């Protein structure tokens, strides 16, 4: 098999679309708002276009590359630089650092949900700047006017925003879809105390069951209907509203009403 065909198959299997546009790299790094003391994790550095820029802005970089060829090349390139480590490893299997850290990456599109989940569950994550499919970034930032279960679940501790758009031709090979940056930032002050998070997440799980045909009907499976109506009223929310259209701020109001004190 010709070498280029083998490489193309590896790229397809790993969902690799490499950044080749220096302007796009600068856009991502600006969006990340890094500081010279930051520890940055980069899943899927590929050929290392973003890695170089991260090293200029951050104090330390840990890169995790699943493609052995690229992991080897990056290891050779940076073998004399003590501020960066390269591991041939699936980022999703990595244990989060015990110190504060950020994630900045052009993530493989096929692994977007897994990597986002990893970031959201990491207790010392300060921020994640993830370049992914624009549709994915819009979905999890609420840009469609709908809210994903992941976003609602983590809203009390984390902020979500749609970042800059990146065109298809900033990549090689050129993907079929546009890309955009999804920005996740840990809140300085959480919107709920730590002791209330478990109960809030249980409520979110209940609301997203989809049983009953509406947000209020799902909650009424465990709460009195009169109490649910009162909570919806407090949140200025029509009881028949589908769960995806309930804003995270309304979720917080409903939770506080259903679980006072």
Q: 194-258 adopts what CATH topology?
A: Helicase, Ruva Protein; domain 3 (1.10.8)
Q: Which of the four pLDDT bands, split at 50, 70 and 90, describes residue 16?
A: confident
pLDDT in tens, 159-212: 999 999 999 999 999 999 999 999 999 999 999 999 999 999 999 999 998 776
Alpha helix (H) ranges present in 91-214?
112-121, 134-141, 149-154, 197-207
pLDDT at residue number 144: 95
Q: What is the pLDDT of residue 10?
A: 42
**Domains of the chain, residue spans:** 3-186, 194-258
CATH (residue range 3-186): 3.40.50.150
Per-residue pLDDT of 97-136, as tens digits, reads: 999 999 999 999 999 999 999 999 999 999 999 999 999 9
Can you give the pLDDT at residue 15? 54
State yes or no: pLDDT of 1 exceeds 60.
Answer: no
Contact status, residue 42 vs residue 64, Cβ threshold 8 Å: yes
pLDDT at 5 > cutoff 60: no
Give whole-number Cα distances, 99 to 122, 222, 252, in Å: 11, 39, 29
């Amino acid at each position: 098999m010709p070498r280029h065909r083998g490489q193309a198959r590896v790229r397809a299997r790993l969902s690799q679309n490499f950044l080749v546009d220096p302007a796009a790299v600068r856009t991502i790094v600006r969006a990340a708002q890094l500081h010279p003391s930051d520890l940055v994790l980069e899943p899927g550095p590929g050929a290392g276009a973003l890695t170089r820029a991260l090293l200029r802005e951050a104090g330390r970089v840990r890169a995790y590359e699943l493609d052995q060829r690229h992991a080897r090349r990056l290891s050779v390139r940076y073998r004399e630089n003590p501020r960066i480590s390269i591991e041939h490893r699936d980022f999703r299997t990595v244990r989060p650092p015990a110190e504060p850290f950020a994630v900045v990456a052009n993530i493989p599109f096929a692994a977007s949900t897994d990597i986002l989940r990893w970031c959201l569950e990491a207790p010392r994550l300060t921020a994640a700047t993830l370049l992914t499919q624009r549709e994915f970034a819009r979905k999890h930032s609420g840009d469609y006017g709908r809210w994903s279960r992941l976003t609602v679940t983590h809203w009390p501790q984390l902020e979500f925003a749609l970042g800059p758009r990146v065109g298809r031709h900033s990549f090689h090979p050129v993907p079929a879809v546009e890309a955009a940056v999804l920005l996740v930032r840990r809140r300085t002050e959480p919107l709920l105390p730590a002791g209330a998070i478990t109960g809030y997440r249980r409520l979110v799980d209940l609301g997203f069951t989809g049983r009953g045909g509406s947000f209020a009907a799902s909650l009424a499976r465990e709460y009195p209907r009169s109490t649910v109506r009162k909570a919806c009223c407090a949140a200025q929310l029509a009881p028949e509203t589908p769960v995806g259209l309930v804003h995270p701020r309304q979720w917080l109001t409903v939770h506080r009403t259903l679980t006072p004190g």
